[in-house]
Structure 1
């Protein structure tokens, strides 16, 4: 029964993830090309984008927790149900940390938490790739299709980091616009940033599509 519930949740979270990404990208495009909109309104919409972006972060945490929980319950990772519940507990704590990073992002503590968050993602990506390539967990009964999914999930996370890097110029320019007002130069930078970030986002969607294909085909 528990496995069936987790499987349904695993699928539902994927739709939740993609839907959130589409809303974020659509709203950000409206903001980026909104030269005709008063900056105060654009800034309010940008804050909305940042709030909606949390749903993508939730989805990433949930997919990781559900995926490894299911692998444990299916016996592919040793530990059985006790480990699966432990993974669930870690997932809840991780969600709380992600929420704290968001809510405190404008404070000194929030900036420190954000640095820890970014660093932990690099560590997790390295761990996922090591697991995908059998550098650890070699004795576990992980089929090829699951190792492929784990490697592709690391690609999803890397794409998320790439989007963050692409948006650095946005936040720098946005701060200038907030103090000096927008002009043709700063608006052009924001529009170019949208294009770069969207290009990386397309890569993220391709990784997710590949994960779905691998999940259905299950290559041996």
Structure 2
């Protein structure tokens, strides 16, 4: 590909990379707002609350899409800018992998109630832990220490790892939510169980605020490039 055409393509990929970050943040805001409504709607019929909770889980897919897009586009950009070795072949490989990863994430969501759902979910979770480990190791120069990667980008990878870790923390916080929700579905809604649901919302939102802080750090590093 001619250098000018490649430069223009890289610019558009950079625009997409920035837009995905806004898409991610917006999705988190919508999810949290709807989740709060569900948790504090004590007087709403439980069937309606459950329907809205299912909607929250559907919207949560957008966060997963954003993770895949942000990661794959980031690798493409790093390869095109020469921050990691490999150049165009690595960029194309990252793009192809991102498409396959998106398909897998969608399959995990659609088949979550299928008999293969638990296995697919476990593979999805483990793959995220592996990605977090790779990102953290790269940020610490344990991977690619000789790469011409600037310091601000390594810090950005560390912040991105923090974003993913917060996502894991939110998932762990929601375990208590789904446990209490199942009890409400089985034997009824009580003030005590509603209080537990609200407490879980507060815990998950506290972690979410930290996630937003990491996103803010990512934006600052991308603009300021301090090191």
Q: Residue in 2 aligned with 1:10?
A: 17
Name the residue aligned to 1:208. Answer: 215
Deviation, 1:107, is: 2.3
What is the distance in 2 between the residues matched to 1:176 and 1:97? 31
Aligned partner of 2:197 in structure 1 is: 190
Equivalent-residue separation in structure 1 for 2:190 and 2:109 (angstroms): 29
Paired with 2:103 and 2:180, the residues of 1 have a C-alpha distance of: 30
- Distance across 2 between alignment mates of 1:168 and 1:151: 26
The answer to whether residue 175 in structure 2 is matched with residue 168 in structure 1 is yes
Out of 100, 108, 117, which is 2:107 matched to? 100
- Residues in 2 aligned to 1:139 and 1:2: alpha-carbon distance in whole angstroms: 27
Once the two structures are superposed, residues 76-104 of structure 1 have per-residue CA deviations (whole angstroms, 9 ceiling, x without a partner) of 11111121011001001111111111111
Per-residue CA shift, 1:107-143, capped at 9, x if unaligned? 2311111111111111111111100000011121000
Tell me what 1:48 maps to. 55
- Give the alignment partner of residue 83 of structure 1, picking from 79, 82, 90: 90
Q: Distance in 1 between matches of 2:102 and 2:216?
A: 24
Please give the per-residue CA displacement for 1:11-52, whole angstroms capped at 9, x wherever unaligned.
Answer: 111111111000000000000001010001000000000000
The answer as to 2:33 corresponding to 1:21 is no
How many residues of Structure 1 are paired with residues of Structure 2 in the alignment? Answer: 220
TM-score (norm 1): 0.98
Q: Please, which runs of 5 or more residues in structure 2 have no aligned partner?
A: 1-7
Verify: 1:133 aligned to 2:140, yes or no: yes
What is the DSSP-based 3-state SS (H/G/I as helix, E as strand, rest coil) of the residue aligned with 2:133?
helix
Query: Which residue pairs with 2:164 in the alignment?
Result: 157
The answer for unaligned runs of 5 or more in structure 1 is: none
For the aligned residue pairs, the C-alpha RMSD in angstroms reads 0.7
The ranges of structure 1 where at least 4 consecutive aligned residues each deviate by more than 2 angstroms after the TM superposition are: none
